[in-house]
Chain A
Amino acid sequence: MPSLIYSLLYDLRQRCRYLLEEMERLRPNLLGEAVPYYEWLRGEIEQRLHEIELVITDPDLAHPALAKQYHLAYKGLAQRLSILEENSFQALRTFDAGSQFLTLVVRQICRESNFPGESPLCSTVSTSYYWAIPWARLIFAPPTEAAHLLALPDLYHELAHFIIEQHRSQVVGPIIREINEHYVKFKTECRLNGWSDASLAQLDEAFERWVSKWYEEFAADVIATYWVGPAFGWTNIRVCANISGALFSGNFEHPADNARADAIERTLRELGHTGEADRLREGWNQFIETSGQVPSTDYEQSYPSGLLDAVVRVTVAACRSLGLVPFLDSNPHATSVPGILNFAWEEFRRSPSEYCAFEREAFKKLTGLLRAKD
């Protein structure tokens, strides 16, 4: 009787082969913008198939002392294939005009921003707003996003996650150092000031969140603002108005919305866009007033001003060292994606009732830009 893992490897091999056959069927009708991704995915599946073959033909596969290692190897292959089937393949199978348009926008953004590496595919099948799988070179957007401009700055936030994943030592290393240094210093002061054990435990919890998850969201916001400027801040306010609950409280995955808005504003100041930062601050304050919320007593302890400044500073420095192109200004005649998106936000804020007509014109401009550079 063959071992369980041996049998399951055959199942996995069959799934890979099926996927390759299905992709062959997709190929003739695939829109041109998806072809580079198609080729990448085919190579990725063929590589997985090769790895499966290597394990199946490994003479030691049946050795009981190695069973656990082979199981983990199988499991890693199976999980990776699942992600490719359910996301990459699905993105290709549903690649329509909306996905095509946003893929072109992302490609243009990558060109303009000096994004390192291949530009990802964008698929409009998301039911969870914007999100990405950087290693699978995929960005997901909601189905109607290709018809609106105001949320497109979030594409920059998703692309920022690619930068963070691909350049961890340059981007994440300095941030974690700043967080560590800040908390060592702060906790020492707290101890000297006789803080209670309960308060110190709260501080530890905030620190855990910073080094586990929050740093990445802050970094992605800073990089997005570095690239697209105030438009990202306005998009953030819009998203918060749509989905936010407690503006001054974070959860384990995401820091408080107020702290994120604060970091975006600080990034604009770090880049010298003081006027835009002031206007964004006014917009955010107006939103806070509307919500009627106030910060909790431990807010400053969780999101210290000095730490936010430091995170912004080292992330902007990392952007510069990676050669990423920063946002320059909101010139209405700018023929770039950041130029169009910032002008769109200015027009929307100036006259929301007339914005619809403006957006149609702006789309023409954006489409022209994409065609000219394609």
Chain B
Amino acid sequence: MSDLTALSGEYAENAEFVRTLNSALLALRKRQLAGKRKASGAVNFRSLGDLIAELARCIDQKEGVGEGCEAVEIPRDVLDRLRERHRSDLGWYAKDLQAIGELLRQEKSLSDKQLRQLDEICEAADAAATAVFRRLWRR
């Protein structure tokens, strides 16, 4: 009944998204530093690829009511922050993410630019999680 339950749920959703993405990004960067072509077994790159492809699909939704994303594992606040940041190049950005998703599904290497794009998603998710956490913390 209190707003705190909604906030704690929102925090959990955002924090889990950050954790998943950040662990994957850490493994990808480590792989890149080691000069390896294949991914380590620590992260399920196929499901990460699916997640990024789904994110691309959601980002690509045309603006307007009723055409929102139904993917329940992508926090709404993360989508909003990314859409806001890429307001001027949303279509291109979605295509870039789609390509990243496809490479991850095939366990192929990502370029520096693509890793930075994953970083950006991680940053948006962290900003969303942190904003909720601060509201919970300062209740």
The secondary structure that dominates the B interface is helix
The secondary structure that dominates the A interface is helix
Which of B2, B30, B76 has the most chain A CB atoms closer than 10 A to its own CB?
B2
- A350–B19 Cα gap in the complex (Å)? 53
Chain A residues near B12 (CB, 8 Å)?
133-135, 165
Tell whether, in the assembled complex, residue B72 and residue A129 are in contact, meaning their CB atoms are under 8 Å apart: no
- A212–B13 Cα gap in the complex (Å)? 12
> Of B8, B10, B13, B22, which one neighbours A132 at CB under 8 angstroms?
B8
Tell whether, in the assembled complex, residue B65 and residue A204 are in contact, meaning their CB atoms are under 8 Å apart: yes
> Of A76, A129, A157, which one neighbours B19 at CB under 8 angstroms?
A76
A299 part of interface (Cβ distance < 8 Å): no
Which of A75, A79, A134, A186 has the most chain B CB atoms closer than 10 A to its own CB?
A79
**Assuming A68-B119, A184-B66, A217-B6, is B76 touching A212 (CB within 8 A)?**
yes
B3 part of interface (Cβ distance < 8 Å): yes
Instruction: With CB as the reference atom, state the residue of chain A lying closest to B15.
Output: A76
Choose, from A6-14, A42-50, A58-66, the stretch at the interface: A58-66
Choose, from A22-30, A175-183, A282-290, A339-347, the stretch at the interface: A175-183
Tell whether, in the assembled complex, residue A239 and residue B9 are in contact, meaning their CB atoms are under 8 Å apart: no
B18 part of interface (Cβ distance < 8 Å): yes
Instruction: With CB as the reference atom, state the residue of chain A lying closest to B122.
Output: A72
Tell whether, in the assembled complex, residue A187 and residue B66 are in contact, meaning their CB atoms are under 8 Å apart: yes
Q: How many A residues, CB 8 Å from partner? A: 59
Tell whether, in the assembled complex, residue B8 and residue A131 are in contact, meaning their CB atoms are under 8 Å apart: yes
Tell whether, in the assembled complex, residue B22 and residue A182 are in contact, meaning their CB atoms are under 8 Å apart: no
- A203–B67 Cα gap in the complex (Å)? 13
Tell whether, in the assembled complex, residue B9 and residue A161 are in contact, meaning their CB atoms are under 8 Å apart: yes
**Assuming A217-B6, A239-B1, is B67 touching A128 (CB within 8 A)?**
no
Chain A residues near B13 (CB, 8 Å)?
165
Tell whether, in the assembled complex, residue B65 and residue A216 are in contact, meaning their CB atoms are under 8 Å apart: no
Chain B residues near A143 (CB, 8 Å)?
none
B29 part of interface (Cβ distance < 8 Å): yes
- A154–B5 Cα gap in the complex (Å)? 12
Instruction: With CB as the reference atom, state the residue of chain B lying closest to A73.
Output: B22
Tell whether, in the assembled complex, residue B8 and residue A185 are in contact, meaning their CB atoms are under 8 Å apart: no
Shortest Cβ distance from residue B102 to the other chain A in the assembled complex, whole angstroms: 23
Chain A residues near B68 (CB, 8 Å)?
176, 179-180, 207, 211
Chain B residues 31-87 with CB under 8 Å of chain A are 33, 64-68, 70, 72-73, 76-77
**Assuming A69-B26, A72-B22, is B66 touching A157 (CB within 8 A)?**
no
Choose, from A91-99, A103-111, A166-174, the stretch at the interface: A166-174
Chain B residues near A134 (CB, 8 Å)?
5, 8-9, 12
Tell whether, in the assembled complex, residue A207 and residue B66 are in contact, meaning their CB atoms are under 8 Å apart: yes
Chain B interface bracket (under 10, 10 to 19, 20 to 34, 35 or more): 35 or more
- A279–B75 Cα gap in the complex (Å)? 39
Tell whether, in the assembled complex, residue B66 and residue A182 are in contact, meaning their CB atoms are under 8 Å apart: yes
B107 part of interface (Cβ distance < 8 Å): no
Tell whether, in the assembled complex, residue A186 and residue B73 are in contact, meaning their CB atoms are under 8 Å apart: no
A130 part of interface (Cβ distance < 8 Å): yes
Tell whether, in the assembled complex, residue B33 and residue A76 are in contact, meaning their CB atoms are under 8 Å apart: no
> Of B1, B15, B22, which one neighbours A130 at CB under 8 angstroms?
B1
Shortest Cβ distance from residue B83 to the other chain A in the assembled complex, whole angstroms: 12
- A187–B67 Cα gap in the complex (Å)? 11
**Assuming A76-B19, A132-B8, A184-B67, is B76 touching A211 (CB within 8 A)?**
yes
Chain B residues near A173 (CB, 8 Å)?
70, 72
B133 part of interface (Cβ distance < 8 Å): yes
Tell whether, in the assembled complex, residue A66 and residue B122 are in contact, meaning their CB atoms are under 8 Å apart: no
Tell whether, in the assembled complex, residue B1 and residue A76 are in contact, meaning their CB atoms are under 8 Å apart: no
> Of A82, A129, A164, A207, which one neighbours B2 at CB under 8 angstroms?
A129
Tell whether, in the assembled complex, residue B3 and residue A168 are in contact, meaning their CB atoms are under 8 Å apart: no
- A253–B13 Cα gap in the complex (Å)? 16
- A129–B2 Cα gap in the complex (Å)? 6
Tell whether, in the assembled complex, residue B9 and residue A184 are in contact, meaning their CB atoms are under 8 Å apart: no
Contact sample, A vs B, 24 pairs, CB 8 Å cutoff? A65-B29, A68-B119, A73-B23, A76-B129, A131-B1, A131-B5, A131-B8, A133-B5, A133-B8, A164-B9, A165-B9, A165-B13, A176-B68, A176-B70, A177-B70, A180-B68, A185-B66, A186-B65, A187-B66, A204-B64, A207-B66, A207-B68, A211-B76, A212-B77
Shortest Cβ-Cβ A-B pairs, 7 listed: A184-B66, A183-B66, A131-B2, A131-B4, A69-B26, A187-B65, A128-B2
Which B residues fall within an 8 A CB radius of A?
1-10, 12-13, 15, 18-19, 22-23, 25-26, 29-30, 33, 64-68, 70, 72-73, 76-77, 119, 122, 126, 129-130, 133, 136-137, 139
